[in-house]
Amino acid sequence: MDQDMVMRARVMLLSANVRVVRGVEGLWIYRTLTPVEPEVYGSKLAYVLVKASASPLVRDLPERRMALLEEAVAVAAALSPANPFRDKVLAMALAARRRELEGPPAS
pTM: 0.92
Question: Which DSSP string do the residues of 60-98 spell out, in sequence order?
Answer: T-HHHHHHHHHHHHHHHHHS-TT-TTHHHHHHHHHHHHH
Residue 107 pLDDT > 90, yes or no? no
Which of these, 5, 88, 106, 103, lies nearest to 50 by C-alpha position?
88
Cα atoms in the Cβ-side hemisphere of radius 13 Å centred on 18: 10
- pLDDT, greater one: 90 or 18: 90
Residue 10 pLDDT > 70, yes or no? yes
Residue 103 pLDDT > 90, yes or no? no
How far apart CA 28 and CA 32 sit, in angstroms, is 6
How far apart CA 51 and CA 61 sit, in angstroms, is 15
